[in-house]
């Protein structure tokens, strides 16, 4: 945050481009590739909001495309930053984490609760990449605490949305492992932890308001009243729009700056 000189830096824009497409394709494309059979039975899938519903034939070339784009993308970043060793190590770890989450013999996405630390570690890699590419110090403790709570509550909230289809095909996520009631309880717990972390580390009214509003929204929508699929989509769109707006505010205020 507040590193406005980065806006005139080519590595910054190349890193952003890499994160937006090759890295996103690795994370979500590999998940779709390995979840073909599960997604085929999931009525929520097959749209822009919840992800693709494709056949193996449609995605048969996807693994090669993922590897090619990510290797080339990291090579370009290394070429412009000179950090061949650090970026090569980062890419190896990135492939390993995504394989652990999606591919047998580990496939942690279906071995709850082990998917939770895997997802947190994976998202933290994006922050590490930003530090490497832009030659920045590591983010402060407040960022890591906030990011951990945010990722955990988002993961559990998403698993809860897939509770019925995952349960029907015997997929063991943390949500199906603990049951519907405790899934809601865990989401509220991590939302509350996120709010407490935000209140402790960040003296910013807008950010604090956003964190506390998440608790109220989830309680109202899922605990008190319950929602159908259409209402869930509206809630997710609103949450995503507010979260994206908050990103620019956090940058402007330098709340996550080292």
Q: Is the peptide bond before 35 cis (omega within 30 degrees of 0)?
A: no
pLDDT, residue 87, reads 98
Mean pLDDT value across the chain: 89
Length of the chain: 258
pLDDT, residue 145, reads 97
| CA distance linking residue 33 with residue 193, whole number of Å | 33
pLDDT, residue 46, reads 62
Q: DSSP letters of 174-207?
A: HHHHH-HHHHHHHHHHHHHHHHHHHHHH---HHH
Mean pLDDT, residues 209-217: 87
The string of pLDDT tens digits covering residues 40-99 is 666 666 665 566 677 778 888 999 999 999 999 999 999 999 999 999 999 999 999 999
Contact between 100 and 30 (Cβ < 8 Å): no
> What's the half-sphere exposure (Cβ side, CA atoms, 13 Å) at 157?
25
Q: Is the peptide bond before 5 cis (omega within 30 degrees of 0)?
A: no
Mean pLDDT, residues 8-12: 97
Output the pTM of the full model.
0.89
Least confident of 80-84, 151-155, 218-222, 229-233: 229-233
DSSP helix/strand/coil, 183 = helix
Which residues have C-beta within 8 Å of that of residue 76, sequence separation ≥ 6? Answer: 14, 18
- Predicted confidence band of residue 238 (pLDDT cuts 50, 70, 90): confident
The string of pLDDT tens digits covering residues 95-124 is 999 999 999 999 999 999 999 999 999 999
Helices (H) and strands (E) in the chain, counts: 13, 0
- Predicted confidence band of residue 233 (pLDDT cuts 50, 70, 90): low
Which residues have C-beta within 8 Å of that of residue 28, sequence separation ≥ 6? Answer: 51
The string of pLDDT tens digits covering residues 199-212 is 999 999 999 998 89
First to last CA, the chain: 9
């Amino acid at each position: 945050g507040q590193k406005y000189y980065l806006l005139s830096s080519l590595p910054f824009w190349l890193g952003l481009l890499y994160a937006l497409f090759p890295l996103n394709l690795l994370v979500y494309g590999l998940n779709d590739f390995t979840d073909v059979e599960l997604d085929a039975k999931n009525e929520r899938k097959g749209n822009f909001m919840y992800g693709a519903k494709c056949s193996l034939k449609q995605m048969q070339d996807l693994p090669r495309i993922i590897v090619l784009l990510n290797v080339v993308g990291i090579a370009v970043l290394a070429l412009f930053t000179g950090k061949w060793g650090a970026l090569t190590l980062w890419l190896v770890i990135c492939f390993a984490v995504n394989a652990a989450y999606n591919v047998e013999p580990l496939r942690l996405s279906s071995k709850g609760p082990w998917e939770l630390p895997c997802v947190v570690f994976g998202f933290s890699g994006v922050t590490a990449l930003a530090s490497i590419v832009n030659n920045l110090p590591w983010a402060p403790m407040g960022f890591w605490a906030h990011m951990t709570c945010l990722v955990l509550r988002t993961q559990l909230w998403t698993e809860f949305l897939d509770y019925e289809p995952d349960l029907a095909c015997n997929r063991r996520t943390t949500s199906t492992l603990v049951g519907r009631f405790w899934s809601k309880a865990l989401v509220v717990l991590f939302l509350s932890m996120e709010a407490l972390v935000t209140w402790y580390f960040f003296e910013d009214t807008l950010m604090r308001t956003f964190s506390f509003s998440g608790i109220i929204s989830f309680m109202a929508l899922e605990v008190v009243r319950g929602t159908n699929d259409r209402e869930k989509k509206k809630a997710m769109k609103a949450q995503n729009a507010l979260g994206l707006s908050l990103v620019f505010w956090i940058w402007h205020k330098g709340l996550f700056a080292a």
